[in-house]
Structure 1
Amino acid sequence: MVAINLFILLGFLACFRLTDGSRFRSNAGSRFGSFRRPEALETCNTKRIEMDITRTLSVTYNGVQKTVECVARPFVNECEGVCQSKAEPNVSTFPDLKKDCKCCKEGRLLTRQVVLNECYENGVLLPGLQPSTSITEPADCACFPCRN
């Protein structure tokens, strides 16, 4: 009877023994099923887009002070994409979660001048008037820790 119980116990242990000696694995497969966390692809990058810029300015045109609407349609950088984030149980501070949140955002910013190539006063184009304005845009983008 003892031999049979020992045989059953050894068979049980042989079936559930893991190759690295650990008792549990969260991402290891087995013939009894598995749990794998899907790997998210980080696709955060810098993208060029065309953007409308409109400014209301006070300018001197032909010796007369005027308030005008000026426009431009430059290409600018923006950050776009996905970053991998997760929240998992934290056994040392139960019931809190261990969070690793990442956001697609700028690494550095740059400021540059953009020429406003059309200016209007009351809907009438003022030829030759091309003031500039400064814009701030991302120089590069990547996945960074999010701020809450």
Structure 2
Amino acid sequence: MHVQELLFVAAILMPQCLRALRYSQGTGDENCETLKSEIHLIKEEFDELGRMQRTCNADVIVNKCEGLCNSQVQPSVITPTGFLKECYCCRESFLKEKVITLTHCYDPDGTRLTSPEMGSMDIRLREPTECKCFKCGDFTR
């Protein structure tokens, strides 16, 4: 296809594309936020020979990123597909380490462990404290 043909195709498609873009964006407001979420964590502990010593679990509250980010598709005579896509995703902008105590521990036979040293297990995870919209696929930050 020649440049003139691409321009003609873009000129024909542009009104429909712009209508679809306006419809898909809705109000255009971004709504990326940090929300609380309950998850079930399970951690197994093994000895130096690879034998399971205990399994601990708990339901815990952690932060997650959720929401909408403005993205757009517009006609382009430069790109091979004929459209330029700009996609943005709601992702963490800052992570903080959190220590979580798993309080339900069991031996390999399924017997509940109650001793102070074996009845619970501390684990560390990183959770988002701030979320915002980033260009999709941009993992350089």
TM-score surpassing 0.5?
yes
How many pairs were matched up? 110
Distance 1:40 1:125, change over 3 A: same
Over the residues paired in the alignment, what is the CA RMSD in angstroms? 2.5
Question: Unaligned stretches of 5+ in structure 1?
Answer: 1-25, 27-34, 60-64
In the aligned structure 2, how far is the partner of 1:112 from the partner of 1:118? Answer: 19
In the aligned structure 1, how far is the partner of 2:69 from the partner of 2:129? Answer: 18
In the aligned structure 1, how far is the partner of 2:121 from the partner of 2:60? Answer: 14
Write 1 or 2 for the structure with the bigger share of helix.
2
Rg: which structure is higher?
1
Preserved contact between residue 44 and residue 52 of structure 2 (Cα < 8 Å): no
* Percent of paired sites with the same residue: 31
What TM-score, normalized by structure 1, do the two folds share?
Answer: 0.64
Q: What amino acid maps onto 2:128 in structure 1?
A: P
Tell me which residue corresponds to 1:118: 104
How far has the Cα of 1:82 moved from its partner? 1.2
Tell me which residue corresponds to 1:145: 135
Structure with greater contact order relative to length (CA < 8 Å, sep ≥ 6): 2
- For residues 1-148 of structure 1, the aligned pairs below 5 Å read 37-38=22-23, 39-58=27-46, 67-93=53-79, 96-121=82-107, 122-127=109-114, 128=116, 129-147=119-137
In the aligned structure 2, how far is the partner of 1:66 from the partner of 1:126? Answer: 14
Question: Unaligned stretches of 5+ in structure 2?
Answer: 1-14
Preserved contact between residue 89 and residue 95 of structure 1 (Cα < 8 Å): no
How far has the Cα of 1:106 moved from its partner? 0.6
